[in-house]
Amino acid sequence: MYEGNYLAQRLRASSSDGAERVFAKKLDGSVISYQAFFDGAEAYAKALILKGLKPNDRVAVQADKSVEALQLYIGTILAGGVFLPLNTAYTTSEVSYFIEDASPSIFVCDSVNHAELKTIAENLGVLAVETLDANGSGSLSDLAKGMKSEPFEVVPRTADDLASFLYTSGTTGRSKGAMLTHENLWINADTLKDYWHFSQSDVLIHALPIFHIHGLFVAINTTLAAGSSIIFMPSYDAEKILELMPEATVLMGVPTFYVRLLAQAGLTKASVSNMRLFVSGSAPLLAETHVKWQEQTGTAILERYGMTETNMNTSNPYDGDRRPGTVGLPLPSVEVIITDPSTGEKLPTGEVGSIEVRGPNVFKGYWNMPEKTKEELRDNGFFITGDLGMIDDRGYVSIIGRSKDLIITGGYNVYPKEIELLIDDLDGVVESAVIGIPHADFGEAVTAVIVAESDATLSEADIKQALSTDIAKFKQPKQVFFVDELPRNTMGKVQKNVLRDTYSS
C-alpha cells in the first residue's frame, strides 16, 4: 500500500492488515479506525492536489490540534508535499516571515485568523489559503470530505526527498527551517518503535502539541510505525491523564507533565499499574522529579534527547539503568561525540564539550541557508548541536547546557548546569536558572534566578553562603533573584534569553 512513497508506505505497513484497528480514541468516546484515518488522509491529499500542490511544494499549517490536522500531515506526504507545521502561538509578524521564507503553495490556518492571514499570504504568492479549526471543520476539511469518493494515486517520493521542515526557535537570530527527509523521519520512528518496545497492543496518551517534533514525529510516527493506538487529548490536563491511565500503556510528555502529575493526590503505584512506559523530553528533567516519581509510582521515567534537526539522538534504556540527570545512550545507528568547541577535536571520556551527532536521523540542512548549514553540518556528516555535554565511562550522555548559555567571566568558562544542580539541591528551592549578564569588570557576571518553595524564607545571602564552599569563587553567583516561576516556551524549556533580557539592566 502506497508503494513508491517512502515514508507513507512504511507508516501504513503495520496497520494495513487490520482495517478496523483503532488508531485514535477521543475524549468523547468516539474512535477513528486506521482505515478511516488513512481514508481521510487520502482525501486531504486529493484536496491539496486540486488546490495546486505539486511535488516538493510546501504546505504551511498554523491550526489547532485535531485528528484532521494529523490527516492533513499524512495527506501532504501522500501528495508529495513538504509539511510545515507552525506553532499556534506565533504572531502575525512571525507567520509572515515564515510564509515569505518558505514560499508555501498552500497555507492553512484557523477561521478566526483567516481574513488577516489570507491577505498576507496571497500578497506573498501563496496559491491557496484554507481553514481548519479545532473541531475539524473548515474550508479544507469541507473540500476533503467531497473528495473521498474520487480515485487516488499516491505521489512517489524517495528516501532523500523532503517530507517536512520545521523552524527552530530563533532565539539567537533568524529562525531556521530544518529540512527533514522521508528517511530521517522513518528511521527515527522505526528505531524508537523497537527501542521502546512499541506494539499493536500499546495505547499512548497524546497530550502534546502537534506543531513540534515531539508530539508529531516522535509520538505519531512511532504510533503509526507500530500500529498502536492513541488517546487523543486536545491539550494537557493532569487530572484527566490520571483518569485515563487504566486504559493506556504509554505517556510521552515534557517535564512539566510529570511535575504536575506528582501534585495529583491520586498518583500512586496502583493508579499507574497499567502503564509500562513514561517518556520525558524537550526540556531537562530535574533529577529530583525523577526520584520523586520513582518513589511515588514505583516506575522510572525514561528521559531522552532530541532536537528539531535530528529527531531523537539518545535514550535511557528500556531495559536497564535509567539514570537521573542523563539522557541515556546513543540510539542504534546514531553516533554521538564530544568535541572541543574551538578546535572540533574529539575530547576524552568525561570531559565537557560540544555535542555532535551523526546518523540517518540528521537533517538535510537549513532551508535557504547554505552558509548556516555549512557552519553546523560538517563535511564528515556530524551535526554540531549547539549543546554542551559529556559522555561518562558507561556511555551515558549528560547535557550541561547550550553553548550560547556558556558564561565567560573573567576569562573563565562557567557551565550553568553545574551551579543549577547545586542550587536545586538546597532545601527550599524548587528550581533555578543560571545566566550570565554583562559586567564591567568580568565581562559577564554569574547570576542565579530561583523559584523557592512557597513556605521557604531563603535570601540571596543564604544562597551565596550555601555555595561558598562547593564551587570556585569565579563560579559563585554575584547576584540572586527570586521569582514565582521561570519563563518557558510551549515545550517547557526555560527561556534563558528572556531572563538575560530581564536582568541585564
> Percent of the chain beyond pLDDT 70?
98
Distance CA 32, CA 13 (A): 18
Q: How many CB atoms lie within 10 A of CB 239?
A: 12
**How far does the chain reach from its first CA to its final CA, in angstroms?**
60
Question: What confidence score (pLDDT) does residue 314 get?
Answer: 98
What average pLDDT does this structure show over 97-101?
93
At 499 the three-state DSSP class reads: helix
Question: What confidence score (pLDDT) does residue 87 get?
Answer: 87
What average pLDDT does this structure show over 333-351?
94
List, for residues 75-90, the tens digit of each pLDDT value. Answer: 999 999 999 999 888 8
Q: If we measure between CA atoms, which residue out of 200, 257, 246 comes closest to residue 223?
A: 200
Check whether 283 has a pLDDT greater than 80. Answer: no
Cα angle 64, 101, 402 (rounded to 5 degrees) comes to: 75
List, for residues 433-458, the tens digit of each pLDDT value. Answer: 999 988 876 778 999 999 999 999 99
Query: Picking from 28-37, 180-189, 195-204, 442-451, which range would have the lowest pLDDT averaged per residue?
Result: 442-451
Q: Tell me which amino acid residue 399 is.
A: I
Q: Is residue 460 packed enough to be buried (19+ CB in 10 Å), middle (13-18) or exposed (0-12)? A: middle
What average pLDDT does this structure show over 415-422?
86
What average pLDDT does this structure show over 249-265?
93
List, for residues 375-401, the tens digit of each pLDDT value. Answer: 999 999 999 998 999 999 999 999 987
Read off the C-alpha cell for 273: 499499574
Q: What are phi and psi of 371, to 5 degrees?
A: -70, -45
Residue 411 or 191, more confident: 191
List, for residues 319-328, the tens digit of each pLDDT value. Answer: 999 999 899 9
Query: Picking from 343-352, 440-449, 476-485, which range would have the lowest pLDDT averaged per residue?
Result: 440-449
Split at pLDDT 50, 70, 90, the class of 133 is very high
HSE-CB for 387 with a 13 A CA cutoff: 26
359-381: b or e for each residue (b if 16 or more CB lie within 10 Å)? bebbbbbbbebeeebeebbeeee
Distance CA 207, CA 257 (A): 9
Q: What are phi and psi of 49, to 5 degrees?
A: -65, -40
Read off the C-alpha cell for 153: 494515486
Check whether 402 has a pLDDT greater than 80. Answer: no
Question: What confidence score (pLDDT) does residue 169 get?
Answer: 59
302-307/128-131 β-pairing? unpaired
Distance CA 100, CA 95 (A): 9
Residue 379: which residues within 8 A CB-CB, separation 6 or more?
A: none
At 474 the three-state DSSP class reads: helix
Read off the C-alpha cell for 123: 500578497
Question: What confidence score (pLDDT) does residue 166 get?
Answer: 94
Q: Are 64 and 133 in contact (CB under 8 A)?
A: yes
Residue given cell 528539531 in the structure block:
308
Distance CA 164, CA 7 (A): 11
Alpha helices (runs of H) in 377-415, residue ranges in sequence order: none
Per DSSP, 5 falls in state B
What average pLDDT does this structure show over 150-167?
95
Say whether pTM exceeds 0.95: no
List, for residues 171-191, the tens digit of each pLDDT value. Answer: 445 678 999 999 999 999 999
Query: Picking from 96-100, 130-134, 354-358, 360-364, which range would have the lowest pLDDT averaged per residue?
Result: 96-100
Q: If we measure between CA atoms, which residue out of 10, 11, 36 comes closest to residue 23?
A: 36
Residue given cell 561525540 in the structure block:
337
Read off the C-alpha cell for 252: 510521552
Q: What does the mean pLDDT of the chain come to?
A: 93
Question: What confidence score (pLDDT) does residue 170 get?
Answer: 47
Per DSSP, 214 falls in state I
Q: Are 192 and 304 in contact (CB under 8 A)?
A: no
